[in-house]
């Protein structure tokens, strides 16, 4: 894990006891909205990752996203979603205490461009979709699913336990459940998310629902089996044009060395359909489809491979490659791209 952003001056939080419960021991790193520390829980002695918001008091959008993530994670109790153990204020800044994990992101595991062994891919995909289905039942849309937000922590057998991270862009389908209702955290026509895993309607700033997660999950699962995202390009605009206009790639053409079950390709085709109504309604339906795909027996990992899941600790600040993992918020890649998207949606409706 990178320590980029480490404070140059002595950190006033180091050594502090927060809310008579958390003793801050060391600085781990800094992300877009929070600085992350290793802390000890005085009530049980366990280590936690304590993230403190690092924004400005008047930055209502950033602060609102921080509150939304804390609330979403605090209400979503699932073995494959990172667990929040506390939330409060320190020096007038909100903080959230999360379980401290050791392992690596799915992005890091796929960084060499090689797909996962098929049995391992199934093992990861089932946990991933199980957590997502649970969140969808609770009416929570993640909106930024990608390998960098899927963490793999080793269990006793050396196989990964999946943990979904980062609900900062979460959308609560019930306005009453939203901790920052009334505060605009997004703007109409503004694209939020990560281009490599972004559905067409999200790319064009349209209203989103559970099916944006279905599309992004389809992109993540495609990468598990292929070793690469479904749509690549030299720029964000080129990538987004692929999502909007290009057919879903055929896994068999990318993986000529393996036999691809037709049901698996059908799953990708349905999850990444251009029109939301043509996709699975939610992650629960997608999980059921995955469970119906013929799959090989899961083989235990070797000792050397087991070490892959114990390399780093979780915060939300893993290094990002420039194009592949650059999360962004901007008004649009280009006006022409949005026009193409609008025309595509009109044509597909007729």
Give catalytic residue positions.
144
Contact 33, 42 (CB under 8 A): no
Evaluate the CA torsion angle 258, 194, 78, 80 in order and state its sign: positive
Backbone angles phi, psi at 143, to 5 degrees: 75, 0
What Å distances lie between residue 130 and 164, 184, 287, CA to CA?
Answer: 11, 30, 7
- Distances 96 to 7, 36, 91 between C-alpha atoms, Å: 20, 10, 14
Q: How many CB atoms lie within 10 A of CB 157?
A: 10
d(CA 337, CA 343): 10
What's the rounded Cα separation, in Å, for the pair 308 and 290? Answer: 25
Closest to 171 measured CA to CA, from 108, 213, 219, 123? 213
């Amino acid at each position: 894990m990178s320590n980029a952003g480490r404070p140059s001056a002595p950190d006033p939080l180091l050594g502090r006891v927060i809310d008579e419960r958390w003793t801050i021991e060391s600085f781990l790193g800094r992300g877009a909205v929070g600085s992350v520390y290793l802390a000890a829980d005085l009530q049980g002695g366990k280590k936690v990752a304590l993230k403190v918001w690092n924004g400005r008091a008047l930055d209502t959008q950033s602060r609102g996203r921080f509150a939304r993530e804390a609330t979403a994670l605090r209400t979503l109790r699932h073995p494959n979603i990172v667990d929040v153990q506390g939330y409060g204020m320190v020096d007038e800044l909100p903080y959230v205490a999360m379980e401290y994990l050791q392992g690596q992101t799915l992005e890091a595991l796929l960084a060499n461009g090689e797909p996962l062994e098929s049995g391992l891919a199934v093992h990861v995909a089932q946990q991933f979709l199980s957590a997502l289905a649970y969140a969808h039942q609770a009416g929570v849309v993640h909106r930024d699913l990608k390998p960098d937000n899927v963490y793999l922590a080793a269990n006793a057998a050396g196989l990964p336990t999946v943990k979904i991270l980062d609900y900062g862009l979460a959308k609560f389908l019930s306005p009453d459940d939203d901790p920052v209702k009334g505060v605009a955290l997004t703007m109409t026509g503004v694209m939020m998310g990560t281009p490599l895993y972004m559905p067409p309607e999200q790319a064009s700033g349209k209203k989103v629902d559970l099916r944006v997660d279905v599309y992004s999950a389809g992109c993540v699962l495609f990468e598990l089996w292929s070793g690469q995202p479904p749509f690549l390009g030299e720029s964000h605009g080129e990538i987004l044009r692929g999502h909007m206009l290009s057919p879903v790639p055929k896994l068999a053409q990318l993986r000529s060395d393996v036999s691809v079950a037709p049901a698996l390709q059908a799953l990708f085709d349905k999850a990444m359909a251009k029109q939301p109504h043509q996709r699975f309604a939610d992650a629960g339906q997608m999980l059921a489809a995955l469970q119906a795909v013929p799959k090989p027996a899961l083989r235990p990992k070797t000792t050397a491979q087991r070490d892959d899941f114990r390399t780093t600790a979780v915060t939300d600040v893993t290094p990002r490659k420039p194009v592949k993992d650059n999360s962004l918020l901007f008004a649009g890649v280009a006006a022409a791209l949005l026009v193409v998207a609008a025309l595509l949606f009109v044509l597909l409706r007729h």
